[in-house]
Structure formats: structure tokens, C-alpha cells
Amino acid sequence: MRILGIDPGYATTGFGLLQTDYTGVRLLQYGVVTTPKDLPFPKRLEILYDDLIRLTEVTDPDAAAVEELFWGHNITTGIGVSHGRGVILLALSKAGVPIFEYTPMQVKQAVVGYGKAEKRQVMDMTRRLLHMEKVARPDDAADAIAIALCHARSQTSMLARLQAEKKE
């Protein structure tokens, strides 16, 4: 299974692509999609949409794992990121990619084993689990890899297997 992890944004959207199979999980690629600051906001969203469509064509994921938003102190930024996240979900849906959503706490729990882990702990554990020489940069890409890893671990859990058996 190819899992595309997405850390949503409108200025910078992180992505990470993992391959999971019976041998384990491996990182295939990662990076960011960016939009120019000097463009009007609607044009930035259009660029984000087009780039996400192209990303799904190039990576051909079986599933996408997208982080749910955590509303911090800056509500203006949060609203912009929410718009970006909506565009991302639309692009993935239009591309026919099944979407799975995870909260930051779920990502931390899946990767580190503790839902209130610090960001640096998540990044380091992601690096270790995927046998990377160093933590991915920029942070948005590292976050996206952790989100994809969360989905990989969630889909191979005993609970996921039991739920799948019940559906059959």
C-alpha cells in the first residue's frame, strides 16, 4: 500500500509517501508544495489544488492521511489553513484517493506511543522507525511523513484487522 501523508497549509503543504507491505514500511519520497506570498489568496488556493492533483498523479497513492487542524492562538492563520485543507481534501477526493484523517494527538500516539509527545520526539521517532539518516526538512514534510506513518500503523493494528473481518 502506498500512503500519501499530508500536513495541510496554504503557504506550505508538507507531503510524505510511504510504501507498506509484508516487509515493513519504507519512505519513498517527501517534500513540500508551496504557493507564492505575493499572489492573491484565491490564486494560491488554485495553485495548491493543481499541485495536489499533479502530486496524486505522480505518486499514485492507495490512501491519503491528512492531519486534522488544531486551532492555536492565531485564528487568522487558522482560517487560511482551513481553506487550504479544504482544497487539499477536494483535490484528493477528485483524484479518487481514499482519505483518512488523524488528529495531532493520534499521530503522536501512533508514532511515539504518547499522545502528548513533543514535536521533536515525533520527528526523531519517525526518523528512527524509517531508518533515515536525519530528520526530514522542512518541518512540514517531516510532519507529513509522521501522519502517513500514523495511518500505516493504524491500518496494521489488531483493531483494524478485527474491524475489517467484521465487514466481510
Active site residues: 7, 67, 140
Q: How far is CA 137 from CA 20, 53, 127, 144, in A?
A: 22, 23, 11, 11
- The DSSP result for 66-115, as a single string, is EEPP---S-HHHHHHHHHHHHHHHHHHHHTT--EEEE-HHHHHHHHHS-T
CA angle 123, 124, 127 (to 5 degrees): 90
Q: What is the largest CA-CA distance in the chain?
A: 52
32, 12 in Cβ contact below 8 A? yes
- Residues counted in the chain: 168
Backbone phi, psi, residue 109, to 5°: -65, -45
